[in-house]
Amino acid sequence: MKTEVPAGAAYRPRRDRLWFARTRSYTVFVLRELTSVFVAWSVAFLLMLVSAVLSGGLPEFVALAGRPWMIAINVVALAATAFHSVTFLNLAPKATVVRLDGYRLPAWMIQGGNHSLWLVVSAVIAFFVLRGFR
């Protein structure tokens, strides 16, 4: 017995749910987008810290932050945020064209400048944060 297809029914091919895994650039793109969740978590955690400092609930926040599961989440969030930052900064030359006297700067100069500035800002923040622990 032959199955009849209703008139006007469109052909819909099966979707491949792992389409991004076939190409490295697509895989990195999808991973970078997924790491945005951990970037949002890092912002939320920082806001919780600021709220705890301003409201006087710092001991409770420290107790929460010291739990093993919270430490594990924050370690994963740190790694994901670092991956997100590096891949984002590596895309800057593709999104921004910088010209000096009509000469287009090479991608490595833009990436190097971005990563150098990130390193300097991180070092300054680490200096002030670690100085407070003495």
pLDDT tens per residue across span 85-109 = 998 898 888 888 888 888 988 999 9
- DSSP label at residue 36: H
Contact assessment for residue 89 and residue 83, using Cβ atoms and an 8 Å cutoff: no
pLDDT tens per residue across span 74-86 = 999 999 999 999 9
What domains appear along the chain, each with residue ranges and CATH number? 21-131 (1.20.1300.10)
pLDDT of residue 96: 85
Of 85, 84, 92, 93, the closest CA to residue 32 belongs to 84
Cα-trace Rg, the chain: 23
Contact assessment for residue 41 and residue 77, using Cβ atoms and an 8 Å cutoff: yes
Query: Where does the pLDDT of residue 134 fall: very low under 50, low under 70, confident under 90, or very high at 90 and above?
Result: low
Most confident stretch, 2-11, 19-28, 62-71, 122-131: 62-71
